[in-house]
Amino acid sequence: MTFTALTSSSVSTYKLYINGKWEQSKSGQAIDIQSPYLYEAIGKVQAITKEEVDEAIHFAQKAQKEWADISLQERAKYLYKWADELVNMQDEIAEVIKKEVGKSYKDAKSEVVRTADFIRYTVEEALHIHGESMRGDSFPGGSQSKIAIIQRVPLGVVLAIPPFNYPVNLAAAKLAPALMAGNAVIFKPATQGAISGTKMIEALHKAEFPKGLVNLVTGRGSVIGDYLVEHKGINMISFTGGTNTGVNLAKKASMVPLVLELGGKDPGIVREDADLQEAAKHIISGAFSYSGQRCTAIKRVLVHESVANELIGILKEEIEKLSVGSPEDGSMVVPLIDDQSANFVQGLIDDAIKKGATLVTGNKRERNLVYPTLLDHVTEDMRVAWEEPFGPVLPVIRVSSDEEAINIANESEFGLQASVFTKDINKAFAIANKIETGSVQINGRTERGPDHFPFIGVKGSGMGAQGIRKSIESMTREKVTVLNLAE
């Protein structure tokens, strides 16, 4: 495949994908994509114009009508082929993900494989979704001669906007259900992540989907974001990203179904009866994998004061063993996506230390590489108790009861997930029932997968539900056809 990018001097310029063709934007402008750890541009993506957005949506609308008419089994063949092509391209795509968003090669590769699995499961799930029928006479006065047939039908053109941290997986997690449900897609990748997204579309192109069904539009969100969101040709929006952007998007999108997966401040609640070694293992993996750049990262620990010293001791020891450095070395803690993100995390650490938090380990920085940082005795007046760092800093708040932990957990503006660590299953459920999040993990780290589980953010963490079946449902609506039999 040589058509996706133009190679000039040292870096490639990747193209738009509109109506099945790789195109350069008429804007004549391209955006540099800087690697977060190579500190140089690794490529450029097109800055699309509004007119080109109109064209892409026009082609999508056209393609969707025919796509909705083809059988599920036919749609399945295209998606299976796409999954196969992703697997064929896994090394190449993983290399791009690594360079573009600074994720270790191993994690990048599992992202691609997870994506192929996701697509295949989506196909199978969609093939097994059935409609229902209702008899009229179950309602008082209703007649047996009336029968409602309820089917799920596509919404039209879905706008898919994934974040930088899973530029392939969270993109396909929107595209695959949209397509199996009979929709067309306008795919707007995060700017940082757009080359990985382009590679994913390259695999899709190889699967020879109908022209115009999936269109890749790249450009600065600040320039085309609102235009896309407010566009009359968009019938559904699936967005994963920051809470501020999501809230802004929800204000702009009128009368269009939305699924938003936004930020989080997932607490790890550690009861006095928890297995502390196990809890620490899950907390560390939850908090520091990919430098905490996951919406589902554990972003605060609420620990019972009677076991706090012991837990802190284990956490310190284990955190100091974490690999820190370049994704090229397979490090777990890697440079953050950009300097601004690192400055933000540093601001949270500085504020906490100034207000009296104890620095247990970390607070070391090399440019945008922030070392894993553990803060103890964090109190509610500190920003790090409430704000989402999206970086490798873990605040510990000591509590004296389950009730206090639940209250602090629920005071957050976010409500994505929470973990509860305890040996008492009854207490675990009692706490889980009171926590205001989409999911609660008992004795495990907060995470989205396995990908067929419902994935839900409440409060500032989003609206609607993802997870394979839920995503298909969110990208369809029910259509009722009523059969009136002659009596």
- Catalytic residue numbers read 261, 295
Range 79-91 burial, b when 16+ CB lie within 10 A, else e: bbbbbbbbeebbe
Question: By C-beta, is 131 or 449 nearer to ligand G3P?
Answer: 449
Does 445 participate in binding ligand G3P (rule CB under 6 A)? no
Q: How far is the CB of 241 from ligand G3P (least distance, A)?
A: 9
Min dist CB 450 to ligand G3P, Å, is: 9
| Distance from C-alpha of 99 to C-alpha of 38, rounded to nearest angstrom | 7
454 near ligand G3P (CB under 6 A): no
Q: Fill in the DSSP letter of residue 208.
A: T
Residue 388 in contact with ligand G3P, rule: CB under 6 A: no
Q: For residue 199, give the DSSP letter.
A: H
Query: Do 157 and 172 contact (CB within 8 A), yes or no?
Result: no
Give the nearer residue to ligand G3P in terms of CB position, either 271 or 448: 448
| Full DSSP string of 214-225 | EEE--S-IIIII
Task: Give the bridge partners for 371, in sequence order.
Answer: none
- Say whether residue 107 binds ligand G3P (CB under 6 A): no
231 binds ligand G3P (CB under 6 A): no
> Using CB under 6 A, which of the segments 20-28, 93-101, 399-407, 444-452 binds ligand G3P?
444-452
Dist CA 431 CA 207 (whole Å)? 47
Total number of residues that touch ligand G3P (CB under 6 A): 8
Window contacting ligand G3P (CB under 6 A); options: 123-131, 218-226, 269-277, 442-450: 442-450
Residue closer to ligand G3P (CB basis): 213 or 287: 287
Stretch that binds ligand G3P, among 76-84, 300-308, 344-352, 443-451 (CB under 6 A): 443-451
Give the sign of the dihedral formed by CA 18, CA 23, CA 25, CA 26. negative
Contact 381, 355 (CB under 8 A): yes
The answer to the question of residue 98 lying near ligand G3P (CB under 6 A) is no
From candidates 78, 377, 447, 467, binder to ligand G3P by CB under 6 A: 447
Q: Please give the radius of gyration of the chain, using alpha carbons only, rounded to the nearest integer.
A: 24
Q: Smaller CB distance to ligand G3P: residue 191 or 296?
A: 296
Q: In the chain, what is the greatest distance between 2 CA atoms, to the nearest angstrom?
A: 80
Rounded to the nearest whole angstrom, what is the least distance from the CB of residue 361 to ligand G3P in the complex?
24
Query: Is the bond leading into 210 cis (omega within 30 degrees of zero)?
Result: no
Cα gap 165→160, rounded to integer Å: 15
Instruction: Find the binding residues for ligand G3P in span 274-303 (CB under 6 A).
Output: 294-296
Euclidean distance between CA atoms 261 and 226, whole angstroms: 18
The site string for ligand G3P over 133-172 (x = CB under 6 A, - otherwise) reads --------------------------------xx------
15 is an interface residue for ligand G3P by CB under 6 A: no
Residue of 265, 282, 448, 470 interacting with ligand G3P (CB under 6 A)? 448
**Any idea what the Cα angle at residue 223 is, between residues 219 and 228, rounded to 5°?**
80
Residue number with CB closer to ligand G3P (356 or 449): 449
Q: Residue 57's closest CA among 18, 101, 22?
A: 18
Report the residue from 142, 313, 356, 449 that binds ligand G3P according to the rule CB under 6 A: 449
Interatomic CA distance for residues 97 and 141, integer angstroms = 61
Q: Which residues bind ligand G3P (CB under 6 A)?
A: 165-166, 294-296, 447-449
